[in-house]
Amino acid sequence: MAHRTGALEKLLDRLHVFPFRCQLCTTRFRAYWPGTLANLSETDRREYVRLAASFQASLLAEARFRMEGRTTELSMNGCTFESDRTLLVGTLLELTIKPASMGAPITVETAVVRSVRKGSMGCRFVSLQPDECHRLSRVILNLLVGQHIRAFHLSP
């Protein structure tokens, strides 16, 4: 589900027409959904579900400071980067994600640190070249398929 924008979408809520966003192609759309959906928290800024992942990654902060770590959650719009050091909220960086399933790493030209916890940072992607975006969507698709297969095998 995507964030509601404007009075029209709040009115459409009453008709059970809710805003959604495709987790792969990033297209925003509205669809009828019978029943009610939980209200989005005003503090949750994410438009995409972050999927569990475990990829080697590195970042270059402000074109001078390099860090190695792991991407442990990933979406089309951001990730969680785990490392023994963290940066300040608002720091701009270049992020390189190295998924095992792909030959070349995915480079996010510009990302920004949005949250910091001990040993991890939440990063939002700001600028991504179209070919990198396409490759990222393939990784997200693989994560979604893997998540579905695990859920299928765990069900009775």
| Total-model pTM | 0.69
75 membership: H or E segment, kind and range: strand 65-75
The tens-digit pLDDT sequence of the chain (156 residues) is: 555 677 776 676 677 777 766 666 667 667 777 766 555 444 445 566 788 999 999 999 988 899 999 999 999 999 999 999 999 999 999 999 999 876 789 999 999 999 999 999 999 999 999 999 999 988 988 888 866 554 444 445
Q: Are 52 and 82 in contact (CB under 8 A)?
A: no
C-alpha distances (whole Å) from 56 to each of 73, 95, 155 are: 12, 11, 30
Q: Are 112 and 48 in contact (CB under 8 A)?
A: no
Structural domains of the chain, ranges and CATH numbers in brackets: 1-40 (no CATH), 51-151 (2.40.10.220)
Place of tokens 């979406």: 75
